Amino acid sequence: MTLLRRPVVLSILRRIACCFEVGKRYDQSKSSSEIQLKILVMHMLLHSTHPRLLIRQVVCSPRAINAILICLLPIIVAWLCAPDCFAGTSASQWVVVVNGDSENSRTIANHYSQLRNIPSRNIIVLRNVPQANTIKVEEFRNLILKPVLKEVDKRELSSHVQGIAYSTDIPTAIDLREDLKGLDNLPKVLTPTGSINGMTYLYRWAMQRDPSYIAPDSNWYAAHEAEVLLKINAPREVLDEITKLIDGNQHEEAAAKIDALRLPGTKNYPLDFLAAQQYALAGAHPRALARLEEAVRNGWKYRSEITDDPCFDSLRDDKDFKKIVAKCPNNPFTWLPGKSFNAQTYFTPSCIETTDPNQGVSYLMSMVLTYTNNDRMSMEEAIRHLERSAKADFTNPTGTFYFSKTPDVRSRTREPLFQIAIDELKKSKHSAEVITQPLPPNGSQVAGINFGVADFDWPRSGAVLLPGSLADNLTSLGGVMTSNAQTKATDLLRNGAAAACGTVTEPYALQFKFPLPMLHAYYAQGLSAAEAFYSSLQSPYQLLILGDPICQPYAKPPRVKIAGCENGSVITEAIKLKLQPIESDSSSDPVQLTWMINGKTVLQSNFRPEVEIRLDNNDAGAQEWRFITKGPKPIENCWESSFWVYTGPPSTHLTLSAPEFCSRSESSKFRVKITQASESKNKLRIRHHWELLDSIPNDQGEFELDLSSLGSGPIRLQPVALDEKSNVIFEGPSIVTVVK
């Protein structure tokens, strides 16, 4: 995972300008203070001389800027996303970060990794984590983010990991003033405090001390209004030249200039469409048809934008033109489609995917599993919450999604977008409605809720948050865990939600700092909780997202049954595994197969019903095999299964014996024993998750382990053999001892 590639030039003003026309479609009544805020942000971005705030190459015309200042308020509407979604993350794609000095942090990680079958390789234990809830940004970089990213690289996880889940007892708020001190006239609403998961998501900028992470539109993975596709990302002088050529009816020359902006490794279909327009106006029909065909083949899905465009009038009767139009899907030219998250993909300021790191930025999803300090949640409540969320996967709960409409500014901020989300939910046969009170009425079965209120008492409402539900309350201090002012997001977890969120400082009720109502529509289409949040969040830097990131009650994974091998099998020669898809209403067809050994990817290909596995001569000891199947577009849900096998000579076969249960009240220590199938001189040790323990065996081969250093709950232990340099050379299968 490369950390220090430079980010591309931000084009926020250009992005906002392109939203002007869409803003006209919605009647949003906003306060003059919010208008003033937007103008202040525009002024700051236009006039900043900070060397790291890469926003100076802005390509807005004076007319566009005037349009912005007249119609700033609806711009967030233009950042809404679309009905078609590409979803799918699974256990192997998440890393769990643990505070190694906190017994509670270890306990939560023990429970979550067992509930979700997170590979041991994906559990990262940090030492010397600051005890304070708020830390300086340099401490965050040096003590948390940098060590985590370094360990992800070292363990060869960067090719497939999509997110970081933090256990409890890790700081949640980050003081950003050191990074922002060079900015002049920073509006007070861009407050210098970030959340741990927001700054982890924006790690590319955070690692470079680049304050671009505070921008109102820093998340280019989130889908936006479709008009953004037609905005060209180029230096001002290039755009001025293209505009001059078009105004002078030099359309072929303008098309050539647009063609020159096409980039390798980037989806150039918007440029192909724009070039086709100009070639058609110039009468260069062969070139126009070639570019238009290229656009449709590579992603242009808006047929009406071709058929209704007068630029193509001269081609209407051309048979090749008609063929191209017939092949083009007829998606509404309103919102860009959502997509499954991919940490290996870079996104340009126009939300176009690219493989070129010089043209875009990549992200890393992040959530905090729970918060148990300051009496926000007890350990028992936190564990019950994670258990409930894990059981909700693939259950397709039949409840109602509620959107609260009240006079409170916290509700009014997102009210104009309610109907768009409700329409999308109803398209997928889900119940959704607006209520005129903060919480749903007594007896309501709540699949999800979007509301805004400072304080609330959920049990008093009598409403039931169904397992797997998302609850989103827009208020100032919902994520400020050290203050008793306002009800915290943890109250929603305690009362049944799988995930909830709140800002870690005063956000000034700005829409772009909170999830848009489409959060629930994306979730209902099959996205995981983490994907749903980040698909609907334009500026993540201050939002603390709590809960189970993998929860996906509406997903339809491609379930398969594996035959030809089972847990504990001894493999001595090549074997053939059969993967039989399980047909049901809650499953999808598998299209891709990934095979992992001990948490590392060894094969990724199109799905095949039969896989032949040949052992390497160096294979030894026990191996954990994981098979992940991915379903078809547009959802692409994943199904993951795992088992242990033995390979290599018997001398490498280790077995760990341990009590099934042990109690702290009886002893603070317990003993385990490693046995080998045959004699060996290798040093034997015990690993807890991926952490090698200091304990060494006695003369009987027994290890004495200190419970206080492992946490409680399901303790995953694994026997390993070391060479003379203390490198692990082979392993035994892990076992679980439940500590209470």
Q: What is the CATH number of the domain that holds 685?
A: 2.60.40.10
Question: 18 falls in which pLDDT band (50, 70, 90)?
Answer: very low
Which CA distances in Å does 82 have to 128, 522, 714?
43, 8, 41
Last residue in a domain, options 598, 629, 647: 647
Bigger pLDDT: 301 or 334? 301
Average pLDDT over residues 430-434: 97
The answer on pLDDT for 423 being more than 70 is yes
Residues of the domain holding 580: 560-647
Examine the domain organization and report whether 233 and 323 are in the same domain.
yes
Residues 6 or more apart in contact with residue 219 via CB below 8 angstroms: 201, 363, 534, 537, 538, 539, 540
Instruction: Please tell me the predicted confidence (pLDDT) of residue 354.
Output: 87
Task: Report the sign of the C-alpha dihedral through residues 608, 612, 616, 621, in that order.
Answer: positive
Examine the domain organization and report whether 633 and 698 are in the same domain.
no
Average pLDDT over residues 18-31: 30
The answer on pLDDT for 616 being more than 90 is no
Among 56-65, 137-146, 731-740, where is mean pLDDT lowest? 56-65
Average pLDDT over residues 490-501: 97
Q: What is the pLDDT of residues 535-579, one digit of tens each?
A: 999 999 999 999 999 999 999 999 999 999 999 999 988 899 999
Last residue in a domain, options 80, 96, 125: 80
Question: 52 falls in which pLDDT band (50, 70, 90)?
Answer: very low
Examine the domain organization and report whether 232 and 319 are in the same domain.
yes
Strand partners, 688: 691, 717
Q: CA 138, CA 659: separation in Å to the nearest integer?
A: 44
The DSSP result for 346-370, as a single string, is: EE-TTS-EES-TTT-B---EEEE--
Instruction: Please tell me the predicted confidence (pLDDT) of residue 58.
Output: 30
Kindly state whether residue 201 falls inside one of the protein's structural domains: no
Examine the domain organization and report whether 262 and 285 are in the same domain.
yes
Residues 6 or more apart in contact with residue 620 via CB below 8 angstroms: 647, 648, 649, 652, 729, 730
Instruction: Note the pTM of the prediction, 2 decimals.
Output: 0.86
Instruction: Please tell me the predicted confidence (pLDDT) of residue 617.
Output: 77
Examine the domain organization and report whether 663 and 721 are in the same domain.
yes
Examine the domain organization and report whether 275 and 299 are in the same domain.
yes
Instruction: Please tell me the predicted confidence (pLDDT) of residue 657.
Output: 92
Examine the domain organization and report whether 684 and 636 are in the same domain.
no
Kindly state whether residue 684 falls inside one of the protein's structural domains: yes
Average pLDDT over residues 731-740: 87
Q: What is the pLDDT of residues 109-129, one digit of tens each?
A: 999 999 999 999 999 999 999
Examine the domain organization and report whether 668 and 643 are in the same domain.
no
The answer on pLDDT for 100 being more than 90 is yes
Question: Hey, what amino acid is at 387?
Answer: E
The count of structural domains within the chain is 4
Examine the domain organization and report whether 323 and 242 are in the same domain.
yes
- Considering 18-27, 34-43, 221-230, 386-395, the range whose residues carry the highest mean pLDDT is 386-395
Examine the domain organization and report whether 610 and 686 are in the same domain.
no
Task: Report the sign of the C-alpha dihedral through residues 627, 632, 633, 639, in that order.
Answer: negative
Residues 6 or more apart in contact with residue 657 via CB below 8 angstroms: 672, 673, 674, 675
Query: Minimal CA–CA distance to 213: which of 236, 235, 237, 195?
Result: 195
When computed from its CA atoms, the radius of gyration of the chain, rounded to whole angstroms, is 27
Q: CA 273, CA 459: separation in Å to the nearest integer?
A: 54
Average pLDDT over residues 431-445: 97
Kindly state whether residue 675 falls inside one of the protein's structural domains: yes
The two tokens of residue 433 are: 């409605």
Mean of all residue pLDDT scores within the chain: 85
Question: Hey, what amino acid is at 201?
Answer: Y
